[in-house]
Amino acid sequence: MGDPNRWLESCLQAKIFGLDKVVKSVTKAMKVLACVRRRQLQKLLQSEDYMLHADL
């Protein structure tokens, strides 16, 4: 096993590394979601513009 302190340290580093991965994937997912929402909003606005012009 060796030095328990060293083992604990490597465990903590692994946890931090795992957390870092999770944080990165979450931020990536949020960016993708924001992009999708923006596109949906643009489509919605375009269709509403179309409806407004159709009323005229």
pLDDT for 1-13, tens place per residue?
A: 578 889 889 888 8
Amino acid found at 35: C
Amino acid found at 3: D
pLDDT for 13-45, tens place per residue?
A: 888 888 889 889 999 999 999 999 999 988 988
**Global pTM exceeds 0.85:** no
